[in-house]
Amino acid sequence: MGKQRKTWSPEVKEEIVLAVLSDEQSIAELARQHGVAESLIHNWRAQFLEAGRARLAGNKQDDGFKVLEKENERLKSLLGEKELALYIAKKARGL
C-alpha cells in the first residue's frame, strides 16, 4: 500500500512561514520540529510572498474569484430569462 500524504492546515503553514520570515527559527529547525520537508517550507514561503506581491500590485481579487463572479452573473441572467419565459407561458394559459 502507498504512503498516505500528510495535509497541513493553512494556519500551520502560516505559522511556519511567519516563523521563517521573522527569523525566529531556521527552516531546518522548523522542518524537524513539524516533521515537514525543508523544500515544502521553501515552497510555502514563496507562495506566501507571491500572494503578498500580487496584493501590493493592486490585485484585490484573484482570477479564480473573478471567474466565479462572472459565472454567477451569467446564471442570474439565465434564471431571469427562465422566470420571464415561465411568466409569459402562465399568462398565455390564462393562469
Given 3-state DSSP classes, what are the helix, strand and coil percentages for the chain, each rounded to the nearest 5?
75, 0, 25
What is the structure's pLDDT at 5? Answer: 78
> What is the per-residue pLDDT for 59?
66
pLDDT band at 62 (very low <50, low <70, confident <90, very high): low
Cell representation of residue 64 = 479564480
| pLDDT, position 51 | 85
Give me the percent of the chain exceeding a pLDDT of 70: 92
Max Cα–Cα distance, the chain, nearest Å:
77
pLDDT at 54 (0 to 100)? 76
